[in-house]
Structure 1
Amino acid sequence: TQPMGARVQISSVDLASTPKISFKTDRIVSDTDMFSTDAISKLYKQEHSVTQITRLFSAGLLGLNKNRKFVPTRWSITAVDDIVGNRLRGQIRDFPSVSNYLVFHKSYLDN
């Protein structure tokens, strides 16, 4: 079920400071013809943290223009984790299998 909270009409918004956004991030956010899955993948390839991507997705800044809307944080975390996880899973499948193991042991102050 969709989370429900208090609804309030916003009369004005003031920014506390000027946000600093990288050029590459701004290009992806400004592209209203890019699917959100592609935008998330591109941002992840550019080494943005999953937390930053989740915030952009939750604020409705990614995806096709007609589909952009605020998403509850819980849903955005799940969606971004799923998209990034599926991408990484596809890459990991091509890795060679492990043929031998290394085991390390360290003791310090008899612990």
Structure 2
Amino acid sequence: MVLGQLKTKATMVTKTFNSIEGISCNVVQGSMYAFPNIKLPKKAIKAAKAAGMKPDVFYCYQLLEETGICVVPGSRFGQREGTYHFRTTILPPVEKLQVFMDKFKVFHKNFVQKYQ
């Protein structure tokens, strides 16, 4: 049962992230984490630098402040220059994870519109 739920959650997270314009996510396999790649608008990158933050950190802080969702910036794990990621877990119960994904979709759309 636990493994079946993990598979369901991994599929849900991967499909949801890949359905959002500007985000791509490899299939979650054998771990409890997803590492989506995010394409950030140039204005967001400039706003991050003006705030003294790396762009992925800026994005993650905005996500936390606006939604209460906490993810870890990819720069904390090392990433290629000019790429942006974050790490999130797939462990919450399916119902809570679905709420997270729904909130995330709205946040990302609004973030991109704000910084276009």
User: TM-score, normalised to structure 1's length?
Assistant: 0.27
Q: Which has the higher strand share?
A: 2
Which structure is higher in RCO with an 8 Å CA cutoff and minimum separation 6?
A: 2
Q: Which has the higher helix share?
A: 2
User: TM-score, normalised to structure 2's length?
Assistant: 0.26
Q: Considering only CA atoms, is the larger Rg found in Structure 1 or Structure 2? A: 1
